[in-house]
Structure 1
Amino acid sequence: MDSSSSSHGIEQLQQGCYYEWMSLQAKHIVNLKEALINQQSNNDDHHKLEELVGVVVDDFQKYAEKRSELSDRSCSSYFAPSWNSSLENGLLWMGGCRPSSFIRVIYALCGSQTETQYSQYLQKMDESEKVDESAGIMSELTAMQLAKINEVHIKVIEKEDKITKKYAHMQEDVADMPIAVTAYSRDLVEVGVSVEDALDKHEEGMGVLMAEADKLRIETLRKIVEIMTPVQAAEFLLAGKRLHVSLHEWGRVREERRFGCARADAVAGGAGVGSEKSKRSTTC
């Protein structure tokens, strides 16, 4: 098997791993929604919800571990995946989402739910009706919880900056010897042994950084759910997964609108992720 066939095979495995993860995301969304609905009718039953939250976090770690195994053979695909839309790739940080974005989701949910409940309260004051308290639990985060989340946020941003600086140095190294000299000295750029070694070393470094970023993502997720109640953690995870799945679908739809079905089909492989209507729309 030549190197190009081997690289294609590895990318297919990486793509399959991603599609499995997206299908699992869709399953998690259904399970979290059902668990939250059931919890409303039985407020004392937090055990099942806590167990589900643990499963969701563990599944994310398993996905990161599997991805890390595949990145040992070829890592660059994860930094601009062909199975993603350009919208998704434009939002990537070290092959995934920024860990600090988890906390921004919390702040957004907090603000949105508080505003909704306040609006409901004002609207129903004159009608003497009870305000709907099931609109969301994230607005009930205590001052102590918010302080802990803010502390996590600050530390995560510091760690993100360190990883980003390491990556910036790696990008600068591409213009260093022997790559730059080889490219300059030859009209027909051939990949010699020295260049191959340099590129292999660069890709290996990318894999190390992605693993470091994945570790930070998992650590951040675990710290957040530890601070929250099981109900709050489930709401947070549900919101995060909906955002991820939605961005994948929005990107696919935008690609279809701009470039036609051929390109959209290439990024619509997450079967079971979108609605049935959206899946049918990928067919020309």
Structure 2
Amino acid sequence: MATSNGIEQLQKGCYHEWMSLQAKRIVDLKEALTTKDDRKLGELVGEIVDEFQKYTKKRSELSDRSCSSYFAPSWNSSLENSLLWMGGCRPSSFIRVIYATCGSQAETQLSQYLLKIDENIHENHGDGSLSDLTSVQLGQINELHMKVIEKEDKLSKKAANLQEDVADMPIAVTAYATDLVEAGVAVENVLDKHEECLGVLMAEADKLRVETLKKIVEVMTPVQAAEFLLAGKRLHVSLHEWGRVREERRFGCAHVDHAAAARS
């Protein structure tokens, strides 16, 4: 049976593999988007969604008796950890990425359109990108957003209750009664149960993350789905790099940039 340290190393390795895959998929998505081939883009989007589901399954398998590592990962920067929700990103943040990217593209297209008017150039500007989301699509995404936030709130309340329960555990009485708490069998059993509860919460959160991602890409065209995934992966990799650089600058810490290593 693996030790706690051994399990954490496996968890870290799983994360590093995932980050390397993110860097690769950024390149794949950029290349595929240049073709505007719906069949090719659809296949790639399907593969990426499937990869995410497999990643969450592997995380769940590695969370046994050591799930707390995912709530404050040693392999993350403090910036990344400050943004975590249930061991990952909020599913609702997927939808916020859509709104932000859609707005940014619309502004760019408007500027290009006005420039072309000045040049007396007339073209059809609809290319099926995120900026071309229809009112029906936006309505579906907004409805999904509200449902996801509601589910997030329920999970957050469960997490809050779990944190509060620590004060009611027998270990709280033990800690009060002694100057130095030794982790005896009773304490270890209680903490193991706490870890199990964390694992259940993270599994529920990961399920919501996967479900949200699937529903988003179902609403979109292949081009839109690919653009959305590209934006999300760029944000993920960028936050990882920004956090690493900030900690190096502040504390002289040396974190390995696995995304950059994968690109080299």
Contact 1:245 1:274 in 2 (8 A): no
Paired residues for 1:1-284 under 5 Å: 6-39=3-36, 45-130=37-122, 133=125, 137-260=129-252, 263-265=253-255, 268=256, 270-272=258-260
- The 8 Å contact of residues 23 and 259 in structure 2, kept in 1 or not, is answered as no
Distance 1:58 1:175, change over 3 A: same
1:79: how far off? 0.3
Indicate conservation of the 8 Å contact 1:22/1:273, yes or no.
no
SS of the aligned residue for 1:128 comes to: coil
The DSSP-based 3-state class of the residue aligned with 1:97 is: coil
Rounded to whole Å, the distance in 2 between the matches of 1:138 and 1:27 is: 22
CA distance, structure 2, for counterparts of residue 17 and residue 254 of structure 1: 24
| Amino acid of the structure 1 residue aligned with 2:165 | D
Kindly state the Cα deviation for residue 115 of structure 1 after the two structures are TM-superposed. Answer: 1.0
AA matched with 2:121? E
Kindly provide the CA deviation profile for residues 214-255 of structure 1, in whole angstroms up to 9, marking residues without a partner as x.
000000000000000000000000000000000000000001
Deviations for 1:16-38, whole angstroms, at most 9, x for unmatched residues?
A: 00000001111111111110002
Distance 1:135 1:89 in 2: 37
Label 1:58 to 1:275 Cα distance change in 2 as closer, same or farther (>3 A): closer
One-letter identity of the residue aligned with 2:162: M
Q: Which amino acid aligns with 1:28?
A: R
TM-score by length of 1: 0.88
Higher alpha-carbon deviation: 221-230 or 193-202 = 193-202
Q: Quote the offset at 1:129 in angstroms.
A: 3.1
How far, CA to CA, are the matches of 1:137 and 1:35 in structure 2? Answer: 13
Structure 2 regions of 5+ residues with no counterpart? none
One-letter amino acid of the structure 2 residue matched with residue 24 of structure 1: L
Distance 1:130 1:218, change over 3 A: same
CA distance in 2, matches of 1:221, 1:271: 22
Secondary structure of 2:121's counterpart equals coil
Q: Deviations over 1:27-64 (max 9, x none)?
A: 1111111100022xxxxx31111011000000000000
The residue type paired with residue 22 of structure 1 is: M
Distance 2:27 2:115 in 1: 32
Indicate how the Cα distance of structure 1 residues 25 and 270 shifts in structure 2: closer, same or farther if over 3 A, else same. Answer: same
Moved more, 106-115 or 129-138: 129-138
Partner of residue 282, structure 1: none
Deviation (angstroms), 1:73: 3.4
For residue 30 of structure 1, what is the amino acid of its counterpart? Answer: V
Going from structure 1 to structure 2, the CA distance change for 1:136 and 1:252 (only over 3 Å counts) comes to: farther
Instruction: Provide Cα deviations, 1:188-210, integer angstroms capped at 9, x if missing partner.
Output: 11112221111111110000000
Give secondary structure in 1 for the equivalent of 2:118: coil
TM-score of the two chains, using structure 2 as the length reference? 0.95
Report the number of matched residues.
Answer: 264
User: Among the aligned pairs, what percent are the same residue?
Assistant: 75
The alpha-carbon deviation at position 74 of structure 1 amounts to 1.1
* 1:125 alignment partner, SS class: helix
Q: Which fold has the larger relative contact order, with Cα–Cα distance below 8 Å and residues 6 or more apart in sequence?
A: 2
What stretches of structure 1 of length at least 5 have no aligned partner? 40-44, 277-284
